[in-house]
Structure formats: C-alpha cells, structure tokens
Amino acid sequence: MTPTAALAATGQSIWLDNITRTLLESGTLAHYIAQFNVTGLTSNPTIFEKAIAGGSVYDPQVRDLAAKGLGVEAAFFECAIDDLRRAADHFGPIHSATNGIDGFVSLEVSPLLANDTKATIEQAVQLHAKANRRNLYIKVPGTPEGCPAIEELIFRGIPINVTLLFSREHYIAAAEAYTRGIERRVAAGLPAFVSSVASVFISRWDRATSKALPVDLQNTVGIAMAGRILKASLDHAATPRWKALAAKGAQVQRVLWASTGTKDPALSKCMYVDVLGTTDSVNTMPEETLLALVSGGKPQGRMPSDGVAAEAALAAATNAGVDLAKVAAELQIEGRDSFNKSWNDLIAKIGEKMQSVR
C-alpha cells in the first residue's frame, strides 16, 4: 500500500493546498488525483498571489479583462474562479461518489472583509453563485465577526470552509455557527445537509511557541492542539443536539488539518501528515509535503481520539510558560493580517499586469 493510500485508509481525505493554471493545464492535478489519492484542494490569497504574479500564464486573461474595463479585484476573482471551476470539474466524480461529502475546492472571500459580517455574507453569496459549482467551498474566517456570517451562509445552503482556527475555543465557535445554521434550515423545512469543514492550523503553533519551550517540548504543541480539537469535535458529534440533526440528514462538519508542511530543514517534511490521520477529517498539504509523503511518508494509522496524550503535552507547554489562549488569539490575528498582506500584494500585482498589458 502506498503512503497516500495508507493515510486515506484512516478515513482522512488528502487535499492539495495549491492551485495554479499550470497545475491544471499540465495534467499534474489529474495525475495527483489518479495516483496519489488526492480528493480536493484549497486555495488562499498567498497561493494565488504566487500563481498569478509568478509568470505570464495569466497575462492573456488579464489583458482581456482589462480591455473590458474590470476593476482589479473583479479581475482577480474572474481568474481565480476560472481555475477553481476547472479544478472542481476534476473532482466532480469524487463529489458525486461520496454523496457530496468530498471532492471540494475552496475560494476565499476577500480577507479585508474579516471584520464585516454583512459584507462577508454578500460576497460569499455572489462568489458561490458566480462559480456555479456544487463542490466549491467558500472560505470564511472563524473570527467573532465571521461566525455569524458562517451561520447565515450555512442556513442559505452555501458550503463553507471555516478558516483561521487555532484553538478548541475557535473550533467550538465555528461548530456552533455551523450547527445553528443547520438548525435554522431544519426549522424552515429545508434539507439538513450542507457540507462544511473546520480548518485548524497546525504548524504555526510550533513556530510560535518553540523559542519559549525547552528542546524536548519544541514542535509538540501543534499536534497536541490537533488532538484536543479532535476530541472536542467527537464530543460535539456525540451530543443529543447533533444526533437529532444527524437523524434528519445533517453531515458532521469535518475537521481539516491545515498548515501541515514543515519549514525547518531539521524536521521531517512528513512530521505532521504522518501522525494526523483520523476518520471524518481532511489534511490539506502543500505540494512539497504531498510529494514527500508519496516518496517517503510513514503514516502511523489513526491518531488518538481520547485527548489524553494531547492534554498532557499541552499541560507541559503551559507549565513551561506558554499561555495557550494568548497565543491562539495572536495566531488568529497574525493569520488574518498575513492574508491581508498577501491580498494587497496580489491586488497590486494584478493592477500592475493590467496596466502593462493595456
């Protein structure tokens, strides 16, 4: 059994955290689907900034959009949606075979709307309608302003990838928003099934805490936090409240492990993906990590679900002086700001391309 097949056998979906037009046109994505068990993909402003600014492949479309008088943000979404429609079509058979549970691609609303609930809802509705693909997630940050938008969008039947989650408390807020949206649908006589994933960022924990920890505790917090959140998700799914919705056809909001690549050359590139396999979950990984998994990964089966080892590791980090709640809040803000910067860079570079091709 190949490493990717072994990871998929734990019940986890393997997604690619990347999209470029070259990836689509070269047949590489189709190869990953056929050979490496890839069943979906994610995108974000940083990924699109690198893809569009990194060469000339998008120039013909940018030239056409500039000639039509489109604004820079509108031009970006045209380019992104074209790519994601094509990717969604690649994953369409998987989406159908899994009855709408897997085979998704993701498009993020403008991160500049992270503090504006109403504008987030409006743009999410517009983007999902424009893309016109059932297997497109709209990514919405799980911030205090984002959670009401998530509830409303789920109620409206729009699949949501909740992003920028770092702690159990962040996850619970996202799960509550999702659950309330489903409850409102049931109360309104609408189908209970609307797909969603909750994206939990892993490696950023270790980059944020390692300097404050002794050597034996470094690079342990991210995996431990995943264990804590997995336990919370299982506890939520076991409540009478959720079971009542499941009986009406609701699908559990799957946890999605994001930021699962390693940047420290001293660490195995598969450090996170090898140990985070579990049922009803997704792991979206950078292309470099996927290829490392294919060539030398050693998936270790399903991760512990009782949270015992996770809580012991988090207690050790706390005793060493790490304020987990404070770090989680800082990471969510830093993640939002990082996406804001990538978005601004992306918009500026598309603007430059539009000027240069006019």
Tokens representing 275 are 């140990």
Give residue-wise pLDDT tens across range 279-298. Answer: 999 999 999 999 999 999 99
Tokens representing 29 are 């994505």
Q: What is the mean pLDDT of residues 159-174?
A: 98
Name every residue whose Cβ is closer than 8 Å to that of residue 276 and which is 6 or more positions away in sequence.
Answer: 12, 202, 223, 226, 257, 260, 283, 303
Alpha helix ranges (H) inside 132-274: 146-155, 168-187, 203-209, 221-237, 240-246
Tell me which of 62-76, 79-93, 205-219, 326-340 is least confident. 62-76
- Cβ–Cβ under 8 Å, residues 283 and 223: no
Tokens representing 236 are 């939520």
Tokens representing 61 are 């479309």
Q: Which H helix or E strand runs over 216?
A: none
**How many Å apart are CA 210 and CA 322, to the nearest integer?**
10
- Cβ–Cβ under 8 Å, residues 317 and 220: yes
Q: What one-character DSSP code corresponds to residue 67?
A: H
The residue type of 307 is G
In percent, the amount of the chain with pLDDT more than 70 equals 99
Q: What is the mean pLDDT of residues 76-99?
A: 97
Residue 54 clears pLDDT 80, i.e. is over it:
no
Higher pLDDT, 353 or 340: 340
Q: Is 69 left (phi over 0), alpha (psi -120 to 50) or beta?
A: left
Tokens representing 278 are 């579990």
Beta bridge partners of 105: 136
Active-site position among 139, 231, 269, 353: 139
Domain 3-357 has CATH 1.10.2020.10: no
The pLDDT of residue 49 is 83
What residue spans define the domains of the chain?
A: 3-357
* 139 given a catalytic annotation: yes
3-state secondary structure of 160: strand
Give residue-wise pLDDT tens across range 88-112. Answer: 999 999 999 999 999 999 999 998 8
Quickly count: other Cβ atoms within 10 Å of residue 220's Cβ: 20
40 pLDDT tier (thresholds 50, 70, 90): very high
Give residue-wise pLDDT tens across range 236-281. Answer: 999 999 999 999 999 999 999 999 999 888 899 999 999 999 999 9
**How many Å apart are CA 109 and CA 113, to the nearest integer?**
7
The residue count for the chain: 358
The pLDDT of residue 357 is 65
What is the residue-averaged pLDDT of the chain? Answer: 95
The pLDDT of residue 188 is 98
- Apex CA 283: angle with CA 313 and CA 114, to 5°? 90
Residue 207 clears pLDDT 70, i.e. is over it:
yes
Tell me, rounded to whole angstroms, the distance of Cα 123 from its chain centroid: 18
Tokens representing 291 are 């290829």
Name every residue whose Cβ is closer than 8 Å to that of residue 295 and which is 6 or more positions away in sequence.
Answer: none
The pLDDT of residue 210 is 94
Give residue-wise pLDDT tens across range 211-228. Answer: 999 999 999 999 999 999
Give residue-wise pLDDT tens across range 4-34. Answer: 999 999 999 999 999 999 999 999 999 999 9
Higher pLDDT, 159 or 349: 159
Q: What is the mean pLDDT of residues 105-125?
A: 93
In percent, the amount of the chain with pLDDT more than 90 equals 84
Handedness of CA 167, 271, 196, 82 (dihedral sign): positive
The pLDDT of residue 76 is 92
Is pTM beyond 0.85 here? yes
Tokens representing 325 are 């709640």
Residue 358 clears pLDDT 70, i.e. is over it:
no
Q: Which H helix or E strand runs over 14?
A: strand 12-16
53 pLDDT tier (thresholds 50, 70, 90): confident
Nearest to 131 by CA among 74, 83, 96, 93: 83
The residue type of 20 is T
Q: What one-character DSSP code corresponds to residue 111?
A: G
Tokens representing 349 are 């570079």
Tell me which of 53-57, 146-150, 184-188, 258-262 is least confident. 53-57
Q: What residue has token string 């391309």?
A: 353
- Residue 68: HSE in the Cβ half-sphere, 13 Å Cα cutoff: 12
